[in-house]
Amino acid sequence: MFDIFANPGYLAVAAALFGIGLVGFLTRRNLITMFLCAEMMLQGVAINFVAFARYHGNLHGQVFVLFIVAVAACEAGVALVLFLMLYRRGKSLDSSDWQSLRELGVPPDVDAEPLPQPASEPEAERLPLAGVRPKPSAEETARV
């Protein structure tokens, strides 16, 4: 019989996936990144289901993982549509910008210390369009 505790590789990978997903979900504010971190946590749980089902010698964990994968696929489609609609509405995917979606009577969440505004990048030099010959310099016209 397969002894899962003699070879804890499956549990270590599952715990690492869940931990990375949890830290990413709690520290990031971008909705897409939060969604991907939630998916990582879900996959860590799925690995645990499969490992423990194999340890117990039945297929209950594998069947449950099939349902998890099906629900995750549906969730990804719905989340993509939601992200597109939110971005079209507010031109941002920062989760703190969506205070207007809260229920009536619920006070808005306020950050303890606001994030600094990103510095604007200096404009780069503009190159001529492809196929347009640059004007010759005075030295080049004198040679001809």
Residues 35-67: pLDDT tens digits? 899 999 999 999 998 888 888 888 888 899 999
State what percent of residues in the chain have pLDDT above 90: 22
Residue 6: per-residue pLDDT: 53
List b or e across 103-139, with b for residues whose CB sees 16 or more CB atoms inside 10 angstroms. Answer: eeeeeeeeeeeeeeeeeeeeeeeeeeeeeeeeeeeee
pLDDT of residue 38: 92
Average pLDDT, the chain: 82
d(CA 61, CA 48): 8
**What's the pLDDT score for residue 126?**
75
pLDDT at 1 over 60: no
Residue 8 has pLDDT above 90, yes or no: no
- Mean pLDDT over residues 84-94, rounded? 81
Query: Which whole-number Å values give the CA distances from 6 to 13, 55, 60, in the listed order?
Result: 15, 11, 22
Residue in the block written with tokens 């808005």: 108
